[in-house]
Structure 1
């Protein structure tokens, strides 16, 4: 089979197309013929050996896929060869075939296409877990989403609205904010032109934000924390800007605020029942048309490195997808 492999840790340009043996599933595994693979921020880290998961070289990036079941292990009963599925793989998805753990592989609902299936787990799973289990957001509360035009950001904007929040989308360009507005954001902030803390305060009549969803980090984290309301919750989702922020701990103290980590992958593994319930809700929203992500571009497997490069260069508005 063909795969886009990382033979040595580095930037996307070091990835190479290779012919390798098609793997066979173990007892609790599923072999999937890949149709599409979502491109996510962890892909930019894992090829540089900067991610919390450390695969052995060589490996293919690509953490979430959709496709058709080719074979299953003896312990797998919920899917069978020929079934359309989507799965969390962490890595390996930039290939014609990939192995997935059975408990991380779900049947695709009728009517869902492969591209949609390949961009659902990371972004929507992360955002609903963040807002529901970690922030316990309530209808009527104010949610500020940083990096709101990215994959997880747009999902958070839409899911926040579906949960009844007043959503303020913050992003780095007017073009990105236009999409956020079309996706349901009530207000917008261009944080390359406007002071983030001041604008959040202005838009909340001085109260501040109840919940801040931050997948960006770096220079925007501290002003965001300063703009929290009393008993606000600051969600640490990721560091797309490349640098984890240092936050002065007197700030959450003075606001009675919480700094809350969001690690959806660990949540899905440690609390599978709650994760499954979240996905049932996500799939209902997708089926009804209430939740829909923007597709920036589709790339063939041979251009998978470019897909990661475009994400690193912050060109992507919404999601990009590698199609096999």
Structure 2
């Protein structure tokens, strides 16, 4: 391991210890948004791509998500939203977005969200596009509603895709303070309420050309979807690893009766280690999109294993895990969120079995 990598790991460990671990229960139980931690990640240099090969920063970011998810998947999910946002701008040919906004998103001055849950379902033939756009002088006018967009705040930006007509769709990057855009916070979820998730209503929002990520969204989505899915996989890996560690800590309690349970840590380890190797391998390809079906399968396999791991954790912890504020119950709720994160389990099953997106 290189010295640079050792330094980065120490920086990440310190950030997690000082700015995340003390707030995990508050994030889970009080819908606290870990803004300071996310901003410090950028300030630390862990999200910068300048001077790095795409394979290098992609692998590093996958590992960062995984390490954070071991402690708090809500925060790791927020980071995934931000990384998806970075991907949109890194792949865009728009000079304003790449030269003016991208550096601020990578160095901790700005945070970003995704806004592509509905479009990803649209491209899989599951939903129609919720946003409509009309061309006007210097840009577009956008109207419609997105039911859930995460990692948002007054000074945040997020990606959208809107239909201009039956043949044309645009992708844009929009600030939350844009005139005509209204945000309503959503806090009624089973878990992951600290994710700063909002319903977004667009009422004739003007999108100048400087905010256009791609004029041909259909083609652009093919460039960003591998990273969009890849960065989700370590969310599950982190939760699985945390579940295994928690199970190992209680293996000898109550006279060692946990040894009689059907699933033991060794089985979960033997399942997760090959998946980890596949994820790391996929992240180091110059174009993970060439391995699209394999990527989808790993994403699905990790979700199913996450569900298995947290269920096992609940059984091993018994009554202690059944407490609302316990770590096993938090991971249980996090895992069900992951199963419903776009692309959801049924979305993934459809894509793999029919191999469409």
- Which TM-score tier does this pair reach, normalised by the shorter chain? under 0.3
Q: Report the structure, 1 or 2, having the larger helix content.
A: 2
TM-score scaled to structure 1, two decimals?
0.26
Q: Report the structure, 1 or 2, having the larger strand content.
A: 1
